[in-house]
Amino acid sequence: MLTNSNIVALDAEAVRTSLDVAAALEPADLSLPTPCAGWTVRDLLAHMTAQHHGFAAAFQGDGDLAHWEVRPLGDDPAASYRASAERVLSAFAAGGALDRLVPLPELGGSFPAARAIGFHFVDYVVHSWDLAKPLGIDVRFSPEVQQAALEVARAVPDGEARLRPGAAFRPALPSTGGSPFADVLTLLGRSPDWPE
């Protein structure tokens, strides 16, 4: 179950899983397609990097949309990603972080810190899988992470808004009746059997 007291640790598990996947990247992998429609591994990693920087800035009180811009990853994409991940993990773990109201310009407002981390958390549970799938890597999350991600995924509004350009998730798919993690994927518009 997701609580204010465990959200930072749950998010850190999701981010560290994504770091393990990114560490396995080879240069040739960067052009592979991902479950994120129209995005290659490079595109996805650049998006994930930008999101980390945006959330880290927001937790330092800076709501400038410029922090969320996707930028080139440079000669060592995995290192760029690692630096952004360490930045956001530090921002979330800082003293008093959970007591803040956090500006999230991409979502059009400010949110209590635990809720903001919840947005980040479910994104990185799913994006860890998005990144791992084209590489043939199996991601595994603790039962606590799976259940908490399922709780958040069930709260994400479905419907036509998910068909708009730039929507974070595609419309929900029918449940496969598998694990809680498989249900997270289908609720957020991913087929656990991608690319089939």
Average pLDDT value over all residues in the chain: 93
Instruction: Select from 190, 175, 102, 182 the least CA-distant residue to 147.
Output: 182
User: What SS3 class is residue 73?
Assistant: coil
Distance (Å, rounded) from C-alpha 88 to C-alpha 104?
Answer: 14
pLDDT at 168 over 80: no
- Each residue's pLDDT tens digit, 2-52: 777 799 999 999 999 999 999 999 999 999 999 998 899 999 999 999 999
Question: By CB neighbour count within 10 A (0-12 exposed, 13-18 middle, 19+ buried), where does 72 fall?
Answer: exposed
Instruction: Identify the weakest region by mean pLDDT among 83-97, 118-132, 164-178.
Output: 164-178
6 Cβ contact partners less than 8 Å away, ≥ 6 residues apart: 144, 148
Joined tokens for residue 64: 């400038």
pLDDT band per the 50, 70, 90 thresholds, residue 108: confident
Tokens 């930008």 map to which residue?
50
Instruction: Select from 128, 173, 137 the least CA-distant residue to 10.
Output: 128
pLDDT band per the 50, 70, 90 thresholds, residue 112: very high
pLDDT at 192 over 90: yes
52 Cβ contact partners less than 8 Å away, ≥ 6 residues apart: 15, 81, 84, 85, 87, 88
What would the mean pLDDT of 164-179 be, rounded to a whole number?
A: 83
Distance (Å, rounded) from C-alpha 111 to C-alpha 116?
Answer: 6
